[in-house]
Structures are given as C-alpha cells and as structure tokens.
Structure 1
C-alpha cells in the first residue's frame, strides 16, 4: 500500500521514492513488461514480474511513494513510451523520404 501522508514528503523521502520507482521500472524493463498498471491484473505478467523479482520492488515503491504519485508515475512511463514510439515513427518516415 502506498504512503498516505498529508504533509509534503521531505527531500530524503522523495529521493527514496524516486529510487524505488526507478528500481521497479528498471526491473519491469528487464522483464519486458511495458505497462506497470497491467501487472496486478494480468496473471502472465504477474508471474513474469515475480520471476524477475519485480513484485518485491513494487511493494517497496508503493510503500515509499504516496498513492497519487504511484498512479502518476505509472501513467507517465506509459505515455513516455507512446511518445517515443511516435517520435521513432516520425523519424523513420523522414528517413524514408
């Protein structure tokens, strides 16, 4: 469960949150999992994440970060990947012309 804190996080707490977020997303990347929001619902992805040790990292991430941050970071990583795919497609089309 994510941190439910009403006061702003201290710098050290934010740094801890960012570190656990980065470890979790790095683990998902190594596991070949694109969407962190689907790990909870998809049994195959969950098993894959478990094999790579990502579930433990997810628990640490959710404990260190406020729930609103977890939602934001999870959506942000998906949007960044979609954005990069679009940019890659545009660049490929430019190269072809």
Structure 2
C-alpha cells in the first residue's frame, strides 16, 4: 500500500512538472508576441489591465488555456509592473540627461546674474542708509529692493542664504583689513625685534 502511494506521488509530480513547463512555454510565447508586436495598437485587454494587440490573441488564448487562472493573473501583474519600471527607467535615462543639464545650467547662470546685479547695487548704493533686512542679517538700501527681489526669485533659497553669508563674511574680513591704523588686541604686546 505504501508503495502504491509513493508511485502515485511520483506520477502526480511528473504531471505537475509537465503542466508547469507547458504553462511557462505558452506564457513565453505570449510575452514574445507582445514584445514583437509592441508597435501595434493595443486593442485587447487582459485580466489585470494588461493591454495587448489583436495579433497576439491566439497566443493569449493558448496561454490562458495552459495555465492556472491564478498563475495567469500573477504573471500578468508581474509583467505590467516590470514594464512600468522599465518604461520609467528608459524615460529617465534616455531624455533627462540633456534636458536637465541644459535647464540646470540656464537656471544657475540666471541666478548668478541676479546675484551679481544685487551685490553690484549694494556696492553702488553703499553710501545710502540700509533699511531693508535680507536673510542672515544682511542689510541693504531701499534702492536695491528690486534687484533683491529678482535675486530671490532666480535662486534657490538655500543658495541665497549661502551667498548672503559669504557676502557678510567677506565684508567683515574686508572691514578688519581696512582698519590698518586701529590697534586691536592687548596694547602691552611688543613685537620681537
């Protein structure tokens, strides 16, 4: 009795293996047809929203007849997911490099131009009383407000803060360097001679 049960399991396993192989073969034929006919109009719809051309209908029917329904749904979902991911990847790698490079270069140049115009205005109007407050404590005169607005509009806020900090730091250093005559630090230190 135990011997007969073992034989029936072997036969059952062989039948399942053959059924699985026929299913995989039919699935492969259908997906190969999809790939080959990818430029055709997608008129037929499968279970999970998979669209396929009329030319692949015979392969689809063979695939559905050879595989379990749950397997067909699973394989179709997997195919749709992989196709979406591949499409996104192709789109990102094919077109984006040139477009983003050009856009970023133009945006950076516009930002630098607006920044330079604002700082030139600050230098030109340095004798005026600063009444406006920018980021990081930078003060500027009312005459430079339009340049400032253009600068803030053209540049990322993180860049504006960075450039303003840089400008303030450079201005402090320049002020210290310009104070040649004033004595700084303890007066009792004498230079070595």
Q: TM-score, normalised by structure 2?
A: 0.34
| RMSD of equivalent CA atoms | 3.2
Cα distance change on mapping 1:40 and 1:81 into 2, 3 Å? closer
Q: Which runs of 4+ in 1 moved over 4 A?
A: none
Is it true that 1:32 corresponds to 2:126 in the alignment? yes
Deviation digits for residues 37-93 of structure 1 (CA, Å, limit 9, x no counterpart)? x7237xxx77x42xx2x111111101110000101111110100111222333xx36
Distance 2:157 2:166 in 1: 14
Q: TM-score, normalised by structure 1?
A: 0.62
Unaligned 5+ runs, structure 1: 1-6
- Structure having the higher Rg: 2
Unaligned 5+ runs, structure 2: 1-99, 182-190
Q: Does 1 or 2 have the higher relative contact order (CA < 8 Å, sep 6+)?
A: 1
The count of residues paired between Structure 1 and Structure 2 equals 77
Deviation digits for residues 4-41 of structure 1 (CA, Å, limit 9, x no counterpart)? xxx897112111101100101111222217xx8x7237
